[in-house]
Amino acid sequence: MTASTLSIQLLAEAPARRLMAATLNQSTAAPHPDDEARRIAAGVACGDEAAFRELYDRYHPRLLRFALVLGRGNEALARDAVQSAFVTAAAKLRSVAGEEHLWNWLARVTRQYLAKTWRRHRQDSAVVGMAELPDCANGVEAESALEESLDAALLTMDADERQVVEWFYFDRLSHKEIADRLGVTPKSVSSRLERARARLRSFITRRLSHET
């Protein structure tokens, strides 16, 4: 086969190769977040355990960050609120329009739980001015401000302390797993987390008290 004949053959095959590549790319492309959110919500509504687990894994870290700041760094309150949000999702979540709708739904349930707790116990040290905070469903700006508050609080810690907090709260590692990574005892990890929680509560309370 001559060079010219080979060139003609390759040119003739090029459109087919491009079509095949485009088809392959379409088949391997990641699903759109809105499609994924609709699929997960529909699965949860049908009682699909795998869909609920996916919902939990996807949104737990983000929702915990949100609740920690909204609850002024109160870990027990934040965890209870997040747990309540997922229990409510298992019972009441239905169809959603997309990813933002799903997040706003979870955030609103979390906020409602925190507000009810505040009204019931009047624990100003735990949830100060909860009623004055913007409604989560109305915006990304409120969530962004809360995220910035937590990030700012984490930055006040040294790198080792911040790493322990992130492992425990956001990567969901146990005290023993963290201890194994650091080469210390679980009791030492517990002490570090207690100091970090106190610093977190103090910083977030001061920051948000000025902002609200």
**Which pLDDT score, from 0 to 100, does residue 210 have?**
60
Sorted by where each begins, the domain ranges of the chain are: 33-211
At residue 184, the pLDDT reads: 92
pLDDT recorded at residue 202: 79
pTM over 0.85: no
What pLDDT score was predicted for residue 130?
A: 43
- Tell me the two tokens of residue 69: 């700041």
**Distance (Å, whole) CA 85 – CA 63:** 9
Residues of the chain with pLDDT under 50: 3-4, 6-8, 10-12, 26-27, 123-140, 212
